[in-house]
Structure 1
């Protein structure tokens, strides 16, 4: 089976996002993270306070990324940062911190267009929640998508409403599914995100969550293991009741990801499998492995099990 040709090309055993991106663009494309000073409805009191119990945005914001700087300044700093590593590339403005559609449509248009005004920026990647997207915003992004690469990444996190409630998420899974369907067929790239290991979720349920999402009109799926981070509500909960959480061992999670890969829709690209918290932030689980090392182990495990993305996929009726 080592010479097998898969629909997404070569002998890669899953439909990986970097290769998909290379097929789409001839130049190297790099995301530049932007913090535009947004909040979330489960932070500002409209749906709750405190935000998601696991959330600490400081654990993944790059040094150049700060709401104290304008959108244009953050883009210039990001370009300088990446120019030191790579030459001749274009950029996507990645609105990453908190819910980046949670605001008045006029304000959203202003900041998105400021980002797109740089001649090296060819599109937007917008991280948000499924309950923070209006019809007027989707219509606007649909227009932008005629000229730019436009992607919305929805934090679905779990298909289990008990798990969502336990993390103070403030929306249901049905809201996520409805919003994904409303976003489809507009030329907008749709990404979805799942966290594996939340309270009330079991490994068997988590596999079903990924399969269920892959049956929706999403283009990209991001997975990562639950991490307990310092200075979060979840850190206190974990200290008091660690038995409520399902923290994978690394080898166990590796097998779990293979189980997911062989059951999900082969048309969905897989962008990420694990999260890496910076030193000093992570309480548990401490795997001590980098993303590229995990991917290398994953490639070997797929060969070892002689499986690939969609091998066991069943088309939903």
Structure 2
């Protein structure tokens, strides 16, 4: 009998898409964000210190090619046959003139062994002409657009200074998926002011959308952010999960999640020198092993409590 995993795993998804091993290589292409330059706001999201995003080889003064070269050198020693996905990760990677964006994407795609793009961005930064470009590109290359939603609650998005609404998130996901492009979403679990019930409701709302992949991250308080200052002044407004509490939270979450959505990750690991709390002392793979162990103990599985969204019947008029 086939061994079926208890959740829709990202590694399995990649194995279905590609006939060879692939690895993401993070790129910082020097973009900013409309929430930092005054277009949408100033100072960025309250939790954001962008140093937490980027591996050591990924620095703004290096070109896209140089960053790919260093990242690929790291992996190719061990896996000479491996292919690569250029992951435009830091800040808003669709926030520039179309010609400048295309030049950076195409520089990445022209590098030997790079077979596709993953582009991290905001739901309010996907103009039609850029979506047209990605649509055409996706017919020849792997393309995934990863939207930072962070929450499905407008009150939270306002509190953390995101500068967009959840309605804009839904629209961006639908517009992208309708073009046949792989569409990712990113959520932070445990943002201030959100109850456990509200966190679980994120799963219901996302499950009704055409999302390909989902990244879940625990809330982390990072040095030199506005949220760190808020926490210092009002710690009672935050619930910082222990590792065991968060493990049960993410398992409860994926049990409500549409089983077709690929779960890319449960947790994030910020550099120790930037992290205030929670410091669990676990690497990502160690945390995932603990999640898998707890899933087995609970006999849990993704989608066990998923209720498909159904339209309410329209009453007949006499």
In the TM superposition, residue 60 of structure 1 has moved relative to its aligned partner by 2.8
Q: How does 1:3-152 map to 2 (within 5 A)?
A: 10-152=3-145
Structure 2: distance between partners of 1:189 and 1:61: 23
Which residue number corresponds to residue 185 of structure 1? 178
Which residue number corresponds to residue 306 of structure 1? 299
Where does structure 1 lack aligned partners over 5 or more consecutive residues? none
Structure 1: distance between partners of 2:230 and 2:236: 10
Which residue number corresponds to residue 219 of structure 1? 212
In the TM superposition, residue 198 of structure 1 has moved relative to its aligned partner by 1.1
Question: Residue 288 of structure 1: SS of its match in structure 2?
Answer: coil
In the TM superposition, residue 11 of structure 1 has moved relative to its aligned partner by 2.7
Which residue number corresponds to residue 284 of structure 1? 277
Aligned pair partner of 1:249 in 229, 242, 255: 242
Question: Residue 184 of structure 1: SS of its match in structure 2?
Answer: helix
> Are the counterparts in 1 of residues 27 and 87 from structure 2 also a CA contact under 8 Å?
yes
Which residue number corresponds to residue 171 of structure 1? 164
Structure 1: distance between partners of 2:111 and 2:286: 35
Where does structure 2 lack aligned partners over 5 or more consecutive residues? 311-318
In the TM superposition, residue 19 of structure 1 has moved relative to its aligned partner by 1.4
> Are the counterparts in 2 of residues 155 and 194 from structure 1 also a CA contact under 8 Å?
yes
In the TM superposition, residue 40 of structure 1 has moved relative to its aligned partner by 0.7
> Are the counterparts in 2 of residues 91 and 120 from structure 1 also a CA contact under 8 Å?
yes
Question: Residue 187 of structure 2: SS of its match in structure 1?
Answer: strand
TM-score normalized by the length of structure 1 = 0.95
In the TM superposition, residue 246 of structure 1 has moved relative to its aligned partner by 2.2
Question: Residue 130 of structure 1: SS of its match in structure 2?
Answer: coil
> Are the counterparts in 1 of residues 53 and 89 from structure 2 also a CA contact under 8 Å?
no
> Are the counterparts in 1 of residues 222 and 277 from structure 2 also a CA contact under 8 Å?
yes
TM-score normalized by the length of structure 2 = 0.95
> Are the counterparts in 2 of residues 202 and 246 from structure 1 also a CA contact under 8 Å?
no
Structure 1: distance between partners of 2:239 and 2:155: 15
In the TM superposition, residue 172 of structure 1 has moved relative to its aligned partner by 0.5
After the TM superposition, which parts of structure 1 deviate over 6 Å for at least 4 consecutive aligned residues? none
> Are the counterparts in 1 of residues 147 and 184 from structure 2 also a CA contact under 8 Å?
yes
Structure 2: distance between partners of 1:293 and 1:74: 27
In the TM superposition, residue 21 of structure 1 has moved relative to its aligned partner by 0.8
CA root-mean-square deviation: 1.2
Deviations 1:52-83 (A, max 9, x none): 11111112311111121111111111111222
In the TM superposition, residue 23 of structure 1 has moved relative to its aligned partner by 2.0
Deviations 1:34-53 (A, max 9, x none): 11111111100111111011
Deviations 1:238-280 (A, max 9, x none): 1111112221111111111111111110000000101111221
> Are the counterparts in 2 of residues 123 and 149 from structure 1 also a CA contact under 8 Å?
yes
Structure 2: distance between partners of 1:296 and 1:118: 34
Structure 2: distance between partners of 1:78 and 1:295: 24
Which residue number corresponds to residue 235 of structure 1? 228
Does 1:272 find its partner at 2:285?
no
Question: Residue 224 of structure 1: SS of its match in structure 2?
Answer: strand
